[in-house]
Structure 1
Amino acid sequence: MITQEQLFAILEGTQRTLLIAGVAIVFGILLGVIIALMKISRSKVLNGLSWFYVWVFRGTPMLMQLFVFYYAMPLFTADVLGVTLRIPALTAAFIAFSLNSAAYLSEIFRGAIQSIDKGQMEAAKALGMSYYQAMFRIIIPQSYRRLIPPLGNELITLVKDTSLVASISLFDLLRTVQVMNNSSGEWIYFLYAGALYLLFTSIIQVAFDKLEKKYSVYE
């Protein structure tokens, strides 16, 4: 049986798991929209910068990105600046997951935006709108329906991938039950963690399925 102390520890680890995923999806969306707009812009400089960003963060492991911000950053700043800049573990997790999520979400946003008929942009410009006015008032609102399924998948992936923060000594849900298992030799703790992961991913799945059905009536 689980003790009260263990229950509180699991709840604290669960809270940290959801916090990292929540922060990552919020900042990932904000940065992802900017990167997507950069990538479809006519500026070669912005296009190149966005391509490089996506190439780096999609092409390297999430675990390595965590290591860079938590372990490598202090060494880099010490060598280059002569000052050791150490980022707290939770902050490093926020940064790494947000930047990684932004790379994937930017491609999702770009695909959704470019799937809208080009005539919509031409009609908006004919009405006197600027490029960005047309994008935020006409094009992006029409892409909501197409963004819902992949956005839900990205959030589910984030919730599961937060288990990687154990590598930088953060006690998330999985790391917490792993320590309990190591100290007691009981396997049952992993079932508690698995049940919680399934609960949260199922809630996300159901919520996004309902959103998809709600907005599908406008197509």
Structure 2
Amino acid sequence: MISIIQTYKVMLLQSLGQTLLLTLLSLIFAFIIGLIFGLMNVSKSKILNCIGTIYVDGIRGVPLIVLAYFIYFGIPAAVKAIGFTDFKLTALVAGTISLSMNAGAYMAEIFRAGIQSVDKGQMEAARSLGLSYGKSMRKVILPQAIRTMIPSIINQFIISLKDTSILSVIGFPELTKAGNIIVGNTFKALQVWGIVAVMYMVVIITLSRVAKRIERRINVGKLEAN
């Protein structure tokens, strides 16, 4: 095992960096997607509610691997069919889109639950002061909601980090893909996957501890406020 680490440590660290990069990019876009569709789901407009529900249910109903195949292979094939023969998506772009859409659907539910957890009186008080619905949501409701959503957002980051392993099927050079390459070179599956598992565990346990610490601070803040 030590010889594998010494020989392939650069590849393993680079692939871990690619995994974290993909996860971070995806979470940024997923945050935006989740905010948009989360607001749609709490809107009083039935049309917006319908659009938000269709997106969330539709994306959550499709396995991530199928979504990745559709975006990486299906979309370029469709674009080429209409005459754009040079169109191609890189594994990073396709992986970011796939993971962002998938995580965005779950983030939308996090936003919906977070917004609905804020007392309705807060919105009524803001509106009574003359603020529009949009300003009330932006300046009063969302700051309170996001504070309570931080642990859930970090948990979604952890889930997305683990989901990056699925994107090895489209050739993205993340940690699982590197593990497959090293196993093919060394034929030492037990040792290699043990190393990969430990690397995932270190990152995920660290993030889990961060999430728990933030959650404790939020709970202490709520008690002090009360």
TM above 0.5, yes or no, is: yes
| Aligned equivalents of 1:216, 1:178: Cα separation in 2 | 43
- The one-letter code of the counterpart of 2:67 is Q
Q: Match of 2:194? A: 191
Corresponding residue to 1:20 among 17, 22, 30: 22
| Aligned equivalents of 1:142, 1:218: Cα separation in 2 | 12
Corresponding residue to 1:2 among 1, 4, 14: 4
Corresponding residue to 1:217 among 202, 209, 220: 220
Q: Match of 2:54? A: 52
- Contact 1:35-1:50 at 8 Å conserved across structures: yes
Q: Deviations over 1:146-203 (max 9, x none)?
A: 3123212211111111011110012211111122112211121111111110011011
Q: Match of 1:174? A: 176
Q: Match of 1:82? A: 83
Q: Match of 2:136? A: 134
Secondary structure in 2 aligned to 1:213? Answer: helix
| Aligned equivalents of 1:90, 1:145: Cα separation in 2 | 31
Report deviation, 1:5.
4.6
Gaps of 5+ in 1: none
Secondary structure in 1 aligned to 2:221? Answer: coil
Change (3 A) 1:122 1:3: closer
Q: Deviations over 1:2-36 (max 9, x none)?
A: 26451111111111111111111111112211111
- The one-letter code of the counterpart of 2:206 is I
Q: Kindly report structure 1 stretches of 4+ aligned residues shifted beyond 3 Å.
A: none
Query: Sequence identity of aligned pairs in percent?
Result: 32
Report deviation, 1:82.
2.1
- The one-letter code of the counterpart of 1:124 is A
Root-mean-square deviation (Å): 1.4
Q: Match of 1:153? A: 155
Change (3 A) 1:3 1:109: closer
Q: Match of 2:69? A: 67
| Aligned equivalents of 2:142, 2:221: Cα separation in 1 | 14
| Aligned equivalents of 1:213, 1:145: Cα separation in 2 | 12
